[in-house]
Structures are given as structure tokens and as C-alpha cells.
Structure 1
Amino acid sequence: MESSTSPIIEQSRHAQVEFSGKAGEFFGIWIVNILLSILTLGIYSAWAKVRTNQYFYGHTRIEDQPFRYLAKPLQILKGRLIAVALFASYFILSAVAPIAGLLMALGLMFLMPFLIVLSMRFSMRMTSYRNVRFDFHGSYADAFINFLLLPILSIFTLYLLMPWVLKRIDQYLHSNISYGGKRLQVNNDAGTYYAAVLIIMAVVTGVIMTAVILGFVIAFLFPFSFGAEWAMVLVFGIILLYWLILMLSGAIYKCMIRNHLFSRTVLPDTASFASKMQVMPYLWLTVSNLLAILCTFGLAYPWARVRKTAYLANATSLTLQPGIDQLVDTVQQQTAAFGEEAAGLFDVDISLA
């Protein structure tokens, strides 16, 4: 009689991203970083960046396994010095020879996609989880098309092409990330980007119309002579309304696109992702963080950053496949920090949602 054995089917498992950082702990790191950076005329800022990233990475966990930030301060410092030298050269050249400065600015515009590639590559290779590093494989040609050529072309369509461009940018950034030799597969949909823009336009129109109607009602019920005091109130009200619209638009776009992008991204045979951000809680988080920072003259920044990081972690979960336990580190080469530092210096900031 033959005995049959049934194979053991390994099951996928759910994992929640957790963040255990504390505002008080980070405040101590943050204030020391600022003081030492001032005393060393900015040189310590490289060490400050490493300490900050190590704190936030180390307190972000999946299945009780923390992320790690592997960059060394001297890597950051070297890249930062090169970036500062490049910026200083542009500033001096623009002051001495404006035409030459304009030509250099044009050259820097074409350099921007290259800086983005270097920045992403450095950031990914300096990030590890379970002793396996991430990597970035994006090319300069694709970066040039997505970050420079297509945004310029969208101007000639009255920006009607911009949601599609933003979709391509997100796809380029995320689909070129790999972990343990496996690349993320991203299938985001341009329709969601257009829907987000249309919803923002509808909400903004509604808020403006409500404010105008409310203004007329108040003016009708409480007639007043328009003087300097009321002019100041009107200006303040317009600024407040603009700020509220800006924050609300950002919250709608961030929540819709992040949730969509995570739901359409998988790491083959390894993990799938989910995001459950909600507009009003995220709007309140953003507004209250900003108000706290303004009211405390910046001292609430550590509290605000820890609070936002904790919210994003709580809104993020994964479905892990057994294959994640067999991944090994495939990143063999280190990359320079110049791209990351220069990109930040020239306000080329890449944010992975």
C-alpha cells in the first residue's frame, strides 16, 4: 500500500508597519544636531543627517524587524561639499557674468535628472531590511523624459497632460526599486490621477463659493463701512482661505495617490502593499503640526515629525509571502552621496510615498 504525503502549503501573512519613535527622544537628537551644526558652520550637518535617519529607520519595524540606514557621515559630507561647491560656482558666475550664469543654469537643468538618479540610488542602497539592501535601477534617459521633457511638453497642453506625467513619474521611481534582486512591479492608473485633480478642483470651487456666499451674507446682515481695519481682515481672510485650500488639496492628492499606488504595487513572490490614509485625519494632522511648529517657533518640529511618521506607519500594511525569508543581499557596490546632497541643495526633493 502506497503512502501519500500532502505537501505543506506555506501561507502568506499579514504585517503591519510599526513606528516606535518618541517625540522626547528625537527632540534630544534634534536640538543637539542643530547646536553642533551651528557651532561647526554646517559641517556637523552630515552627522546630523545620519543620526536622524538612523533614529527613524531603526524605530520603523515590520514583523519586529527594523530598517537600517547604512550611510556614513563622511559619505554625506563629501557629497555635500561637492554640491556646495557647485552651487557656489553658479552663484558667483551669475553675479560676475550673467550670460555665463544663465548657460550654467541651463546646464544644471539638464543635470537635474542625473542628480535624481544618483539621489535615489544612494538612498536605496543605504537602506536595508533583514540585512538585505534596496537598490535603484533607473536610467538618466528615462529620468530626463519623465522629469524634464514631459513636464515641459505638458505646458503646451495647458497642463492637461500633467496628471499623466505625474503617473509616469511615480511609476518610474517605484518600478525601478529592487529589494533582494527583485524589482517592484507597479501598475498605477492615470485615471486615478485625473480623478484626484478633478476632485481637488471641485472641492476648491466649493470652498471658494461657500466663502464668497458667506461673505455676502455677513455683509448683508452686518453692514459696515469699508475701512483700513476691514481691509486687513479681508486680506487675512484671503490668506487663510488660500492656506486652507492648499492644505486640503495636498491632503486629497496625497491620500488618493498613496492608497492607489500601494494597492497597485507588488514585490513578486515576496510582498504586496496596502495604504489606508484618510483625507480629514491627514488634513488635521498636517494643519495641527504646522500650527504647533509656528506657535512654538519651530520647537515642536520633532513632535510633528514623529507624529506624522507614526500616522504613515499605522496607515501602511503588507501581505508577506514565504519568499521574503529566502532573499539575500545583491547590492555589491556603494554609490556616492553627491547626487542626494546636490539634489537636496538644488531643491530636487524625491519623496517615496
Structure 2
Amino acid sequence: MDLSQTDSTTSPTPQFQPYSRRVEFSGSGKEFFSIWIVNIVLTLLTLGIYSAWAKVRTYRYFYGHTQLDGHRFDYLATPIQILKGRILAFIFFVIYMFCTQFVPVLGILAIFILLFLTPWIINQGMRFNMRMSRYRNVRFNFKGNYGEAFMVFILLPFLSVFTLYLLLPYVFKRIDQYLHSNIEFSDTPISVNTRGGEYYLAALMAYVAAAIVAVLMLAVAGVFGFGLEAMIQDPEMMNDQASALAGVILMVMMMIVYFVAFAVATGIYQTHIRNHLLNSSELHGIADFKSDLKMIDYTLLVFTNTLAIVFSLGLAYPWAKVRSARMLSNATEVTFLCDPQTLHDQLGEQQSAFGEEAADMFDIDLSLG
């Protein structure tokens, strides 16, 4: 046999060529408004019971209108699972209120119990939401543990108080690291390599920008203040009327200053952190992530959304939520490092019969969002 001839005719196994796709969101404010307003009305009429169905409808709408590489995301939770969690939360709340009102000693004990339960509740909520999220028939999972959750959600925030909150950006970094690095997809955890310096930089930029905006707006308010003072001193105008008018105008101007500074700080901080977090994350061997959210665009979005919600008395909330989802989706790019069709739902494959029964018992949504 001619080995050289055999080698030359053997075709090599084709290698997968990585490719990138943008996340797309196809929802509309008009569609979501009809869902949202029905959710509000039915929740009020049922004294909150329908809120479980409202959450499922909302999540399924946003998941179903989010698409990546031609495939939509799925939300698998049922309203009954949500309702069980809310009933449990309501029972805890009633017990807590009873203890604080009638047995103060037990009320203090209940506060400490709730404090130590918080990490478990956060883990349970994350695990539930991840298990109920699916892409290409592959579910996500969350593997966080109580000890680390207690440190990042309870211990580190408590210690930051003694540093005059100078430790807070590092605390936020640890929280993001914990929440994202414990997410799994197809039995592969997300690798997150965030840097604390980026969080301090984001906080500094947000603080400086908000301070500059507040000073400029307060300077403008000062000009109006001189006008109001002249108005009050006008003998033709009653002092009581002038004082009342001046108080209302100043209060409105201070609210405007607060909202503008808040929007600027929020937009700058969230843009920088989101870009850094996604650009530092990877599903090893499966996907890389990229975020190129524009700071000015997102800051304007936060500002206009806030104004719209306030001046519409909340009716613009669906419009604002859809706008945010669309911008965040368009700013997200995923590079596939392997053929997505080869991925399997490892969570389902590894689950035993006992595990399925345990999942049915403990898969409840303990978050009220």
C-alpha cells in the first residue's frame, strides 16, 4: 500500500470558523403597553394575585422578542411557580410585621433572620431565573453558593460603611463578578475578568459629571432666584402669594436639577460598567461577548425615559422599557466560537428523577420583581 497516496487523498476535518452576530430586539412600545395596562388592571382587581401571571407575560414578551443568530430566547416559568414564591414572601412579611408590632424582641430576631436569609434568597432567585431561561433549547443555570453570597451582599457592604463608602465601587465589582461568573450555559460557566479600577473610574466620572451639571443648573436657578426676589419685593404683589409662588418654583427647579444629575450619573456609570463587564466575559469555547454602548446616547435615553415616566404619571413606562431593551440589544455582539447546533442542555441530561422532584419543590421565584 502506498501510504503517501493514502495521506494525500484523505480530506481533513473542516474546522469551525467563528462568526459574530448582533442581538436584536423586535418589540414595540404599543404592543407592550397593551400587555402592561392589562397586567396592572388585573393585578389591582385580584389584590395582587395576578402579578404572577403579569410577570410571566412580561418576561415572555421580552424574551420572545429578543433574537440572536436567528433564534429567540424562551422564558419557561409558569405563573404558579411565581405565585408560590410570592405567597411564601407574603407569609414571611406578615410574620415579620406581627413580630415587630406585638413582640418587639421577636421583631429584632426576625431582622437578623432575614439578614442571614438574604444571600440564600438572592441565590434562589438567580437560580430560578437562569433555569427558566433558554436559548436554542439549552437552559442557563446558576451555581452560586451561600458563603460567597453572604460575603459580597452582606459582609462587604457592611465593611464599606467604615471606609466612608470608599470601598463601595469594589463592592459593586465583587457583586457583578459573583452574579455573572456563576452563570452557566451548556454546563460551561461564564469567565469574568473585571477590574476594580474600572469601577472606581466609572464612579468618579459619574460623580464629576453629575456635580458639573448640578452646579450649572443651580447657577441658572440662581438667576431665576434674583428675579423671584425682585418679585417678592414688588409692593404691588402680596407677600404671601409671592412667597408661595417662589417656594413652588424653587421646589420644581430643585427636582429638575436632581433628575438631570441622576440621569447623567446613571447613564455614564451604567454605560462604562456594562461595556467593561461584557467585554471582560467569555463562555470558554462557546462564545465571546462585546458591548459598544455609547455613553451620550444611553445618558440621553435615561434622561428622556425618566422625564417621560414622570410627566406621564407612569404611563410612558412601557415605551421607556422597550426603548432601553432595544438600545441595549443593539449594543451587544456575540461571537460564536463553536457550532451552536452542537450544544446540549446539560442541565436536563444530568438531572435525576430525584433532582426533578426537588426542582419542582424548590423552583419558586422568591424575588418580587
* TM-score, normalised by the number of residues in structure 1: 0.91
What is the CA-CA distance between 1:92 and the residue it aligns to? 1.6
Aligned ranges 1:1-353 → 2 under 5 Å = 2=5, 3=8, 5-215=11-221, 224=230, 228=243, 229-331=245-347, 332=351, 333=355, 335=359, 341-344=365-368
What is the CA-CA distance between 1:155 and the residue it aligns to? 0.9
What is the CA-CA distance between 1:289 and the residue it aligns to? 2.0
Matched position secondary structure for 1:287: helix
Identity %: 43
What is the CA-CA distance between 1:213 and the residue it aligns to? 4.2
Whichever residue aligns with residue 92 of structure 1, its letter is F
Structure 1 range deviating more: 163-172 or 207-216: 207-216
What is the CA-CA distance between 1:323 and the residue it aligns to? 4.3
Structure 1 range deviating more: 271-280 or 110-119: 271-280
CA contact (8 A) 2:52 2:80 kept: yes
Going from structure 1 to structure 2, the CA distance change for 1:212 and 1:23 (only over 3 Å counts) comes to closer
In structure 2, distance between residues paired with 1:25 and 1:261: 31
Structure 1 range deviating more: 128-137 or 55-64: 55-64
Going from structure 1 to structure 2, the CA distance change for 1:16 and 1:221 (only over 3 Å counts) comes to same
Matched position secondary structure for 1:322: coil
Going from structure 1 to structure 2, the CA distance change for 1:294 and 1:42 (only over 3 Å counts) comes to same
CA contact (8 A) 1:127 1:134 kept: yes
Structure 1 range deviating more: 301-310 or 170-179: 301-310
Going from structure 1 to structure 2, the CA distance change for 1:84 and 1:256 (only over 3 Å counts) comes to same
What is the CA-CA distance between 1:216 and the residue it aligns to? 5.2
The answer to which structure, 1 or 2, has the higher relative contact order (CA under 8 A, 6+ apart) is 1
Aligned length: 345
CA contact (8 A) 1:54 1:69 kept: yes
In structure 1, distance between residues paired with 2:328 and 2:123: 25
* TM-score, normalised by the number of residues in structure 2: 0.87
Unaligned runs of 5+ in 1: none
Whichever residue aligns with residue 321 of structure 1, its letter is L
Highest CA radius of gyration, 1 or 2?
A: 2
Matched position secondary structure for 1:75: helix
Whichever residue aligns with residue 303 of structure 1, its letter is W
Going from structure 1 to structure 2, the CA distance change for 1:141 and 1:245 (only over 3 Å counts) comes to same
Matched position secondary structure for 2:67: strand
Going from structure 1 to structure 2, the CA distance change for 1:209 and 1:50 (only over 3 Å counts) comes to closer
What is the CA-CA distance between 1:124 and the residue it aligns to? 0.2
Whichever residue aligns with residue 342 of structure 1, its letter is L
What is the CA-CA distance between 1:27 and the residue it aligns to? 2.1
In structure 2, distance between residues paired with 1:282 and 1:215: 26
Structure 1 range deviating more: 162-171 or 314-323: 314-323
Whichever residue aligns with residue 252 of structure 1, its letter is I
